[in-house]
Amino acid sequence: MVDATDATFQAEVLDSELPVLVEFTAPWCRPCEAIEPFLVDLGREHEGRLRLVRLDIDANLRVPSRYGVLSLPTVIVFAAGEPVETVHGAQPRRRYAEAVERALAA
């Protein structure tokens, strides 16, 4: 999983040729820690077809504001530089897998 910042978000996510799953997180967010193994597993499962990026909302304020991130965890899947699916809160692995599958099929 790549750590992005406000400064690197364009290059890491929006300019990516692959779909990108972005986890908006913070060091104090326990539900974020709980879902991260699901996300890493999805990254392995779709290696070469999906990128994983993590963005710390405490250290980076512009990008979360731009995408309306108001709660953690928030996971947004981007394809061709556009958000295509958003998952709010800690959800079962299946929910993240479905979001990824829809982005890969698009």
Residues with active-site annotation: 29, 32
Q: Which two tokens stand for residue 2?
A: 């790549």
Check: pTM over 0.85? Answer yes or no. yes
Q: What is the pLDDT averaged over residues 70-80?
A: 97
Mean pLDDT of 36-63: 97
Q: Domain 2-105: give its CATH superfamily.
A: Glutaredoxin (3.40.30.10)
Q: Are 52 and 43 in contact (CB under 8 A)?
A: yes
- Whether 106 has a pLDDT exceeding 80, the answer reads no
Predicted local confidence at residue 66, as pLDDT: 97
Distance of alpha carbon 73 from alpha carbon 87, whole angstroms: 8
Alpha-carbon 94 to chain mean position? 15
Mean pLDDT for the chain overall: 97
